[in-house]
């Protein structure tokens, strides 16, 4: 019993460390991360950017491919297709996240429409919003 409790504690510690603390664990091999960049989420933008950098290096770097979409009045994709997580693509994605400017309201429906109609969509869609909560849509 003691061994099982220790294994459970180890697993909980792992799940609450690094990028998994604010975001949870990305399960899919191909994922699209939608970042809410509306004015209301702009209050947390610096924290979101810091956590996103950790997410890129700890989890997205282990995926087969990824893309990032910013959600506000206008939805923008970092890339027009899913990209493999190379050193270069992760650096480009990080620079893109750093240049996000909060504006307007969150157009979740438009962003889901953009992602689902994209030939690049395959597996998981995650949305990061207020206080870095991560929601899986598909």
* Mean pLDDT value of segment 76-102: 93
Distance CA 73, CA 39 (A): 10
Give per-residue pLDDT as tens, 48-66: 888 888 899 999 999 999 9
DSSP states along 4-60: HHHHHHHHHHHHTSTTHHHH----SSEEEEEEE-SHHHHTTHHHHHHHHHHHHHHTG
Task: For the full predicted model, state whether its pTM sits above 0.85.
Answer: no
Question: What fold is seen in the domain 26-136?
Answer: Rossmann fold (3.40.50)
Between 123 and 30, the higher pLDDT residue: 30
Domain range annotation of the chain? 26-136
Give per-residue pLDDT as tens, 92-112: 999 999 998 887 776 666 767
Query: What's the Cα-to-Cα distance from 118 to each of 24, 91, 94, 132, rounded to whole Å?
Result: 25, 23, 22, 25
């Amino acid at each position: 019993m003691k061994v099982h409790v220790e294994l459970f504690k180890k697993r909980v510690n792992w799940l609450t460390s690094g990028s998994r603390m604010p975001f949870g664990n990305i399960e899919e091999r191909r994922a699209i991360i939608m970042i809410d960049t509306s004015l209301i989420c702009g209050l947390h933008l610096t924290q979101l950017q810091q956590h996103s950098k950790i997410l890129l290096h700890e989890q997205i770097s282990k995926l087969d491919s990824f893309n990032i979409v910013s959600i506000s009045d206008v939805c923008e994709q970092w890339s027009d297709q899913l990209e493999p997580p190379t050193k270069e693509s992760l650096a480009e994605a990080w620079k893109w996240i750093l240049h996000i400017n909060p504006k307007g309201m969150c157009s979740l429906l438009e962003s889901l429409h953009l992602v689902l109609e994209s030939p690049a969509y395959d597996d998981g869609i995650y949305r990061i919003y207020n206080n870095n909560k991560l929601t899986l849509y598909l």
